[in-house]
Amino acid sequence: MVYITEAHPSDVWQMQSNVRDSVVFASPKSEDERASLARMCVRNLHIDFPAVIDEFGNSTERAFTGWPDRIYLIDAEGRVAYKSRPGPFGFKPEELEAALRKVGF
Amino acid sequence: MDRIGIAQQSPANHDVKVYYNFAIAELLVREKRGDVPSHRRWGKVLLVVIAGMAVTYVSLGGYLWWAMHQPPEIFAGAVARMPQPVVFLLYPFETLWTHARAGGLNLGDRAPDFSLLKVDRSERIQFSALNLHKPVVLVFGSYT
């Protein structure tokens, strides 16, 4: 997982669903705050695969147009084998599953 | 006023014509004052309202489209200030979003390399090293 800029921080675009789920956080103001929130995200959502934090300038998010969420499959030659539509509408794990089958998983 | 004069001079059905005469006179006076808009005036009012709504719709849609092409925090701030249900109901939001956030990477393109710290900050991961001879899934996301 690449942890990127928060989608709905309380100080920018608060969602009622986040209030309901008690996931209310303001935008991190430093690398430390971002790392702290990323750790909380990984722990509370039980993400058990390797997770990295995009740097504060969001260079990786911009390179992949990853915000607010998106899935990619990069093949063994380093080329894009699957790219989801931008989330939240295009975030479809079942499409990734089909793409993985195509590359032999 | 000619119509009033003609009605007053007519001998037949005098009462009805006098009443008609007064009704017409009242309408003429009120119309002159602007109390009773004519059909044409209502048509103009309707046209102005429709034109205003069209301009508002196009302007708000243009603003939305512009915002979708901005960095995430600017887009999120802009949408948060918009009338939320209206924006999502009046515009094909998903279609606009899909086009605006299509991104420059296409299938078959070489994935950009990056080097980022793990969440626990224990080590730095070089994507190209991770991707060496095996496929990698990248899931971009956040907590909220």
A contacts of B103 (beta carbons < 8 Å): 64-65, 83, 86
The pLDDT tens digits of the residues spanning B127-143 come to: 999 888 899 999 999 99
Strand order in the sheet with A70-74: A80-83, A70-74, B136-141, A2-3, A52-53, B115-118, B124-126
Domain count, chain A: 2
d(CA B21, CA A74): 87
In this prediction the pTM is 0.78
ipTM of the complex: 0.94
Picking from B97, B102, B139, the nearest residue to A1 by CB comes out as B139
Residue in chain B nearest A70 by alpha carbon: B140
Question: Between the CA of residue B60 and those of A89, B54, B97, B111, what are the distances in Å?
Answer: 22, 10, 15, 35
Residue with tokens 């243009």: B62
Q: Identify whether residues A62 and A81 lie together within a single domain.
A: no
Q: Identify whether residues A83 and A62 lie together within a single domain.
A: no
B contacts of A96 (beta carbons < 8 Å): 137
Q: Identify whether residues A87 and A51 lie together within a single domain.
A: no
Picking from B109, B111, B119, the nearest residue to A53 by CB comes out as B119
pLDDT confidence band for B51 (50 / 70 / 90) = very high
d(CA A6, CA B143): 6
d(CA A74, CA B138): 8
Picking from B103, B111, B142, the nearest residue to A4 by CB comes out as B142
Q: Do A53 and B116 touch, CB atoms closer than 8 A?
A: yes
Question: In a 3-state reduction of DSSP, which class is residue B94?
Answer: helix
Mean pLDDT (chain B, rounded): 84
What pLDDT, on the 0 to 100 scale, is given for residue B7? 45
B contacts of A68 (beta carbons < 8 Å): 72, 141-142
Picking from B77, B107, B137, the nearest residue to A96 by CB comes out as B137
What pLDDT, on the 0 to 100 scale, is given for residue B39? 77
d(CA A70, CA A49): 16
Domain count, chain B: 1
* CA end-to-end distance (rounded Å), chain B: 74
d(CA B79, CA B61): 11
Chain A with chain B: Cβ pairs closer than 8 A: 176
Residue in chain B nearest A69 by alpha carbon: B141
Does residue B25 sit within a domain? yes
Residues spanned by the domain of A34: 1-66
Q: Identify whether residues A38 and A74 lie together within a single domain.
A: no
Question: Between the CA of residue B127 and those of A68, B39, B115, B138, what are the distances in Å?
Answer: 21, 71, 6, 10
